[in-house]
Amino acid sequence: MFATTPKFIQALFPSLVWRKETLNKEIWLTFDDGPEPEVTPWILSVLKKENITATFFLVGEQIEEFPELVGAIIKEGHTIANHSYSHKNGWLCTKEKYIADIEKCQELMPNNKLYRPPYGKITKAQITLLKEKYKIILWDVLSWDFQQNTSPERVQGNILKNTKEGSIIVLHNNQKSHKNLFPILEDTIQKLKEKGFSFSATW
């Protein structure tokens, strides 16, 4: 169970953004899924308290259901980005259906240029079609916050042990991950600050 994306996988897909080149100790905190009425406001409150910005990769179906939460994310200065309309697995559908699902979400955020594939699963053919229009953002630090048989302490360890300058950290903005994030999100951000990291949501 890798908490950091192996370099050979990153090398196989060089057109994807796995981490950011930076001269500073900047890192990119990202939240997938949502918006979610019980989780998103809590995440926003933690980020506001810590005075940092993050990137929210949102699902179109959830955007339509909870537009006020999208407004709250934007109002707080965070970046929103495309995580598909219905959270399709790119390995399990045709490229035509996959692209149509992404474009349906894109209609809800027309100025967006960022896309993250659900589950990180995307084919070379899909990448070829998408990379002209979007920066396709993956990650180099996977917290495993969604794993039900893990612990908050393990999630925190995954982040703190593997984050380096330029890292893109993936967390989740959903009920499944909430029990693992709730005890440790604020403390983890503080510990990353103590290591000298600053947080960016600029791509």
Return the active site residues. Answer: 32, 172
**Whole-prediction pTM:** 0.94
Q: For residues 50 and 187, is the Cβ–Cβ distance under 8 A?
A: no
Query: In this structure, what CATH number is given to the domain that contains residue 107?
Result: 3.20.20.370
Residue 189 structure tokens: 């951000």
Whether a cis peptide bond, with omega within 30° of 0, leads into 35 is yes
Task: Give a yes or no: residue 123 inside a domain.
Answer: yes
Provide the terminal-to-terminal Cα distance of the chain, rounded to the nearest Å. Answer: 28
Instruction: Give the pLDDT confidence of 26-79 residue by residue, as tens digits.
Output: 999 999 999 999 999 999 999 999 999 999 999 999 999 999 999 999 999 999
Residue 4 belongs to some domain of the structure:
no
Does 62 fall in a domain? yes
Is the omega angle on the peptide bond into residue 110 within 30 degrees of 0, that is, cis? no
Q: Which domain holds residue 162?
A: 24-199
The total of structural domains in the chain comes to: 1
Taking only the tens place, the pLDDT of each residue in 71-93 is 999 999 999 999 999 999 999 99
Q: Which of 189, 198, 136, 167 is nearest to 21 (CA)?
A: 167
Assigned domain for 110 exists: yes
Q: Measure the CA dihedral 10/13/18/24, to 10°.
A: 90
